[in-house]
Structure 1
Amino acid sequence: MIYIALAFLDGILLIYNKPLAITLAGLLILIIIRRKVHILLTIFILCQLIISNYWFSNYENTQSKKMDWFKNDRKVSGTYSIFDIHVKNKKFILGKVQINDEEITFTYFPKKLSELKALENLPNYSNCFVLGKIKNDVTISIKPTVTFNKFDISSCKFETSNDISTYIALHKQYSLKRLRDFTPYWQNTFAMITGDVSYISPEILDVEKELGIYHLLAVSSSHVVVIAAIFYFFLNRFNVPKFTTQFLIIFTLFLFAYYTNFAPSALRAILCMTFVILLPKKFYTSLIDILSIVFILLCISSPNIIFDIGFQFSFLITFFILISSPILKSLKSIQSVLAITFISQVSSFVISAYYFNQIQWIGFFSNLLFIPYYSLILFPLAIFTYLYIQLFTTNHFLISLINFFYSLHDQYLIKMFKYFEQLRWFIGELNHVYVTYMVIWIIIIALFTNNFIKSSIIIFIIGSILITKLTTQPQTRFTALNVGQGDSFLFETNNKHRILIDTGGKADKEGDIFEFGKDKEKNSNSISKYHIMPTLKKRGISNLDYIIITHPHADHIGELEYLINHIKIKNIIVNLQSYNNKLLYSLKDICDKNHIKLLNSSDINQITIDDNKIQFLDTSFNESKDI
């Protein structure tokens, strides 16, 4: 079955990555010849390549026509289905709208607080009259987004439906309100049960992503395993018949799939577990056959799922763990845990490097601690809390328990690894050829190492260094970054010295003076997240020699605090005369905490970087109200 799935995948890759497709086709033909596969089965396997290529080509054409509609028709006016509404930063609405059979993310900034509260309580799948404009910005989202400038709440009508999705959506709204009213850390509980992380602070999500444990907070296959294990344990204790136990587990898991809006990683695990429970062993030779069947079924039924990063992570990690199972069985328990963690990191490496330009080395160590902590403590606690608040209100013992385990998580466990947060390993932008090389390299690690742990780690480290060198060749260049209203310039040299001049930032009005820590929850830092940091990552820049801030207007210094917390900075140069005492003390404090040297441009006059000199000219006027 695995050969059929690989041929199916190869047909997809022919559309999106031809070098990798050709390599996979060659590998598949080699395996077929060596295994002496029957001619009829060989023909059937090769037919899958044609079928998948045709299927996804048609899908691409259909999607292209849909996207053309969004590009050509940029105005939205009419009554549309609205759902998944969230109030963000107590300032604006973020939600989903159904337009042209596509779920599109929308934003809306209400003019009155009463309107914000009314929208927050709007039932899911309400049909409302809206006016707005479609945006196509690939730096923020592959799919188009829409900004509403009018949202007529009085026109909203909720149409009752017997559809299970509607009932689940209503129940999630009810449960969310109960969690908010009666439990602490309700955002985390809601995220682990539903997969909706939008209520969690962006700062917390950033930390979880950098530590490589974000998959534990959102819905993943580990949640599915825990749910099945809990049900099996309790039903088995009460001597419930095997058939009934299996039925209840499958029913609960598919209900969970509905509850998480069919999160791809969870759906993969649910389908695999269902097939293992239902299919007699004579119908499959190994678990890889089950994984292959699920892969083909999901790709045929929902072609867009192949582009989901969670789906790609889930299948690759599971696949490589399964093909490494003969080696894992020969290891002792602790060695096996270390090996599985290592395999997970290696197999997810291509995806992390391609999408995020980063090698998640911290995740190897953090997951050894956090996977057991989430699986054995936080997720079971979230399940119990979610069930408890359906019928009951405040329970002091439950609240104390939640506070204890999350305080331990935030104040001790996270801080243990947060010290390594700035020691990131960025990798340059990968083209299709580099991706192909990396896949071959990972297959070699998984299949052809005799002394698994030692030699695999050595090959992985050498390969990581090599691919980093190849993709981050230094060059002297000056780049104006796209930061909107303000300025931000990146200067690089052949000797890997880098200077950032201003950071950009958002100002409510022209001439706004920036204040560190002010309205932190309202600052999305979208300029850093979608423009500055992606540029630095794609160029393999994990540290800056200097950040030069010309003056403390918000649109020039607004992203500095975020950058300090997300990249290693050696020196910051400012004109001290431009800063009031409060801002200067805040800047000195944050520099001291992060071991950054703060320099006054008036004292140093100029800096020399390789053969380049940057001279500072003092253009400030003490009598001026401006800076």
Structure 2
Amino acid sequence: MMRKRFSYFHYFIIIIIPLISFMVFQKDLDSTIKNRYSMINKNFQVEAKFMSHPFLEHHRIKGEIMINKTFYKYTYHPKNVETKAISNFLWQKSCNVNGQFKAVNPNFKSNLTFFIQNIEFSSCKSYSSTLIDLLHRHKAFIYKKLRQWDINSPEKAIAFITGNTAQMEKDEIEKIKDIGIYHLLAISGTHIAIIIGIVFYMCNLFKCPLLFIKMILLFLLPVYCFYTNMSPSAIRAVSMSLIILIFPKYIMKNAVDVLGGLFIVLTLINPSLIYHIGFQFSFLITFFILFSSPLLTNVSPFKSLIYITLIAQLGSFIISAIHFHQIQWIGLISNLFFVPFYSFILFPLVIILTCFIHFPFKITMLSILYNNVVFIHDKFVENFEKINSFKWYIPVLNDLQITGICIILFVNLLLLVNKHFKMFIFALVILYIFSTVIPQSKDYQLTMLNVGQGDAFLFETQKHEVLLIDTGGQFNSKQTTPNHNISKYHILPTLKRHNIKKIDYVVITHPHIDHMGELEYLIQKQPIENIIINQKSFKPEELNHLRETSQKYNVKLLDFKNKPRFLMDKAHINLLDATILNSDNLNEQSIIILIQYRKYKILLMGDATMNNESILMQKYNLYNVDVLKVGHHGSKTSTSEALLQATKPKIALISVGNNNRYGLPNKLVINKLQSLGAKILQTHTDGEVSILFRDNILLQTHTD
């Protein structure tokens, strides 16, 4: 049999399609980023439709609004008003509001949140209902009925039905992510297949003709897609299912072609979909599974489950590596239990519960059954989390490394499909080396983390010993508990990017919330060996609480006067004492840190004042430092002329929040640094900054 030869036209298509795709998607990306930054932190007076039933979280009202035909999450903190009464009033109203768009997650692909500052209640009016409004109203009805049926965590049931996890407990979501089953909460082919199965089963009971069943599904599935707020993964699953229903014979022979065609059509309609992580996961994993169909024929259900789990892990690898810098290896084990558990028990039960909940009477046995099933689910999540001790982090990858990993992944897939299992295992080792070992930085480096109006600095050695200086932190007096967004979206992602699994030392310069607000959360989430503090600067109750927390998580708590210096590989860490014992100003209790590595000197001033600086220069022979962490975020109470003339820093680092209420950094401090010729780097303009200490200093910036 002769093979078809490639014509010049085929080569032309192979070359031109990637070029056109790049231009289309790059243009959309540039437009998205430009539009995003034109909206962030600017005041808007707009008309907003309150689409979803508001819910309360830490005395704040949250939900979904529509502004200019676009959905956004919103947060509103009423002043001196009963929040519950306000939340009930706002639902299904259109009101004039004033507020700002903010990025809770700094990643440009994440949705903006609208922080409402004021609502003109006199302008509020009910709006006419559309299909989307009716669906939101129905979701609110279901939530209300779930509570009436005594369903534990109705927010979780809503997430199972719609894929919307907004109302779930954040820690619970993190647990599900950690064990590699978060994809099961996203609307996927599994959800759609179960819905189709239930419809077929119910219709067959009444001996309905096949055409009638298909007509029902052709109406029901698009409605369900709207019900999920048109999530990209739902769009893919529903679109593919509709095509299968209409052209079943063609799909069986050309499934990969149909998937590719569907991808092209959807991205041409909305190019921004390609940057949606759920969309990427959905298509790439589906492609890997369809490509591997020869491997899945004539095998037992259990073996098929093992293969599909492994294939899905390969399909999700590069996306997880780029976006999350972590591979949830435990998913290989956890999915063997949770995929059939979700597919055959939990999802069908949720759908049955959703149907029966419309009845005017309560079916107690059904609610008890559901609560017990969810209890079993949660227990297994906890148990899998306990065994998930090894973390597989992926460092930042360059374009060449990403291309190489994609090639290795496809080779792995080919070896698996052709059942060359020994070669497949060898290729997995190559994948680990190429994705994790080779990209790992071999430099001594200092990183100024972008934690807003606070301080957090990370020092690493060639042997991956780690020193974290302060943690940043924000705590609004209106909150009952901190949300730890600084840790979730800034500190922990940076630790993953740097492949840091353990912190050797944490130094807290002084006990202000913007320097240690994230400490307790980090102790819980990240292995830490030692915490060094100035014990005399802490209140007795604060110190006792920190001691108890440290003991609970096997962390050594040390006073800096008992460990004034230590080595980290070839770097000398000196904790300098220029504190003023009787001062009521906690800034004057700051630990000052001098790091010396080879010819380089790094001086980190904490929030030390000019009074501390005078003591510092009297006690220690400081001169000519390479990097100065400017004291107190660039306040005029720090960074004296005498200190600058002695140290003559080449690089000045200022950790400061954008548009902060203190007006920092102070212009006088900036002018003094500029007059010395120091290169000034600030988190609010430069983002996260890393300084690599090689034969010469190399600067790197990272903005999400």
2:513 pairs, out of 539, 551, 554, with: 554
- SS of 2:115's partner is strand
Task: Give 1:123 deviation, angstroms.
Answer: 2.7
Cα deviation, residue 391, structure 1? 2.7
Q: Name the CA distance, whole Å, in 2 between partners of 1:169 and 1:136.
A: 25
Per-residue CA deviations over 1:424-474 (Å, capped at 9, x if unaligned) read 111111222222111111111112454344432331233123221222213
- Give, in whole Å, the separation in 1 of the partners of 2:276 and 2:292: 25
Does the aligned pair in 1 maintain the 2:409–2:431 contact within 8 Å? no
Deviations, residues 483-516 of structure 1 (Å, cap 9, x unaligned): 233322211111210011221112447xx9xxxx
1:601 is matched with which residue? 560
1:464 is matched with: 432
Using structure 2 for the length normalisation, give the TM-score. 0.75
1:152 aligns to 2:120 (yes or no): yes
Q: Shift of residue 584 of structure 1? A: 4.2
CA shift for structure 1 position 532: 0.9
| Alpha-carbon distance between aligned partners in 2 of 1:305 and 1:92, rounded to the nearest angstrom | 31
Q: Quote how far apart the aligned CAs of 1:110 are.
A: 1.6
Q: Which has the higher helix share?
A: 1
Which stretch shifts more, 127-136 or 46-55? 46-55
Alignment equivalent of 1:544, drawn from 489, 503, 512: 503
SS state at 1:459 partner: helix
Distance, in Å, in 2 between the alignment partners of 1:606 and 1:485 is: 29
- 1:70 and 1:144 in contact (8 A); partners too: no
The equivalent of 1:569 in structure 2 is: 528
* Paired letter, 1:221: G
Alignment partner of 1:70 is 2:39: yes
2:404 to 425, 437, 449: 437
Distance 2:105 2:387 in 1: 31
TM-aligned CA distance change 1:50 to 1:471, over 3 Å: closer
**Counterparts of 2:3 and 2:396, CA distance in 1:** 36
CA contact (8 A) 1:232 1:249 kept: no
Letter of the structure 2 residue corresponding to residue 361 of structure 1: W
Q: Residue 44 of structure 1: CA displacement?
A: 6.9
Q: Report what 2:344 is aligned to.
A: 376
Q: Does 1:36 align with 2:5?
A: yes
Relative to structure 2, which stretch is displaced further, 398-407 or 164-173? Answer: 398-407
Aligned match for 1:133, one of 100, 118, 124: 100
How far residue 97 of structure 1 moved from its aligned partner, in angstroms, is 4.3
For these two proteins, the number of residue pairs brought into alignment is 582
**1:333–1:193 CA distance, 2 compared to 1 (3 A):** closer
1:324 aligned to 2:305?
no
Q: Identify the residue that residue 254 of structure 1 maps to in structure 2.
A: 222
Aligned-pair CA distance for 1:525: 0.6
Q: Secondary structure at the match of 1:361?
A: coil
- 2: CA distance between counterparts of 1:542 and 1:35? 52
Per-residue displacement from partner, 1:586-607 (whole Å, max 9, x unpaired)?
Answer: 4344334433333343433432
How far is the alpha carbon of 1:136 from its aligned partner? 6.4
Question: Following the alignment from structure 2 to structure 1, what is the Cα–Cα distance between the partners of residues 357 and 570?
Answer: 66
Structure 1 counterpart of 2:322, from 339, 354, 365: 354
CA distance in 2, matches of 1:238, 1:593: 61
In structure 1, how many angstroms separate the alpha carbons of the residues matched to 2:369 and 2:11? 58
Q: C-alpha separation between the residues in 2 aligned to 1:622 and 1:576?
A: 14
Deviation at 1:375, TM superposition (A): 1.7
How far apart in 1 are the matches of 2:16 and 2:241? Answer: 28
Change (3 A) 1:314 1:533: same
Cα displacement string for residues 169-222 of structure 1 (whole angstroms, at most 9, x for unaligned residues)? 221122222223432220111111122211101111111111111122232332
In 2, Cα distance between equivalents of 1:594 and 1:238: 60
Residue in 2 that maps onto 1:418: 385
Q: Compute the displacement of 1:287 (Å).
A: 1.7
Equivalent residues of 2:475, 2:482 under 8 A apart = no
- Residues in 2 aligned to 1:152 and 1:539: alpha-carbon distance in whole angstroms: 47
- 2: CA distance between counterparts of 1:36 and 1:160? 60
1:612 aligns with one of 571, 590, 610: 571
Percent of matched pairs sharing the same residue: 34
User: Which secondary structure state, in structure 2, belongs to the residue aligned with residue 471 of structure 1?
Assistant: coil
Deviation at 1:51, TM superposition (A): 6.1
Deviation at 1:421, TM superposition (A): 4.0
Alignment partner of 1:428: what SS?
A: coil
Report the 3-state secondary structure (helix = DSSP H, G, I; strand = E; otherwise coil) of the residue aligned with 2:62: strand
Where 2:529 maps in the other structure, the secondary structure is strand
Matched to 2:506, the amino acid is: I
> Against the structure 1 CA distance between its residues 604 and 63, is the aligned structure 2 distance closer, same or farther, given a 3 Å change threshold?
closer
- Mapped contact 2:507–2:533 kept (Cα < 8 A): yes
Q: 1:171 aligns with which of 115, 121, 138?
A: 138
Cα deviation 1:229-256 (Å, max 9, x = unaligned): 2223343344332222333333332221
Partners of 2:401 and 2:434 within 8 A in 1: no
8 A Cα contact 1:441 1:463, kept in partner = yes
Q: 2:180: which partner in 1?
A: 212
> How do 1:282-293 and structure 2 match up within 5 A?
282=250, 285-293=253-261
Deviations 1:523-581 (A, max 9, x none): 21111112111221221212211222234433322212222232222222334444455
Long gaps (5+) in structure 1: 1-32, 513-517
Report how far residue 105 of structure 1 moved.
4.0
Aligned AA (2:392): W
- Other-structure match for 1:12: none
Aligned to 1:228: 196
Q: Distance in 1 between matches of 2:68 and 2:199?
A: 41
Amino acid at match of 2:282: S
Distance of 2:56 and 2:107 partners within structure 1? 17
Structure 2 distance, partners of 1:402, 1:265, is 26
- Structure 2 partner of 1:524: 483
Q: Calculate the aligned-residue CA RMSD, in Å.
A: 3.1
Structure 1 residues 490-499 or 265-274, which shifts more? 265-274
Q: Is the 8 A contact 2:76 2:116 kept in 1?
A: yes
Give the C-alpha shift of residue 159 in structure 1: 1.7
Structure-2 separation of matches of 1:528 and 1:131: 29
Unaligned runs of 5+ in 2: 590-704
- Contact in 1 for aligned 2:60/2:78 (Cα 8 Å): yes
Change (3 A) 1:91 1:247: same
Aligned counterpart, 2:683:
none
Relative to structure 1, the CA distance from residue 558 to residue 54 in structure 2 (aligned partners, 3 Å threshold; closer, same or farther) is closer
* 1:390-401 aligned within 5 A: 390-392=358-360, 394-401=362-369
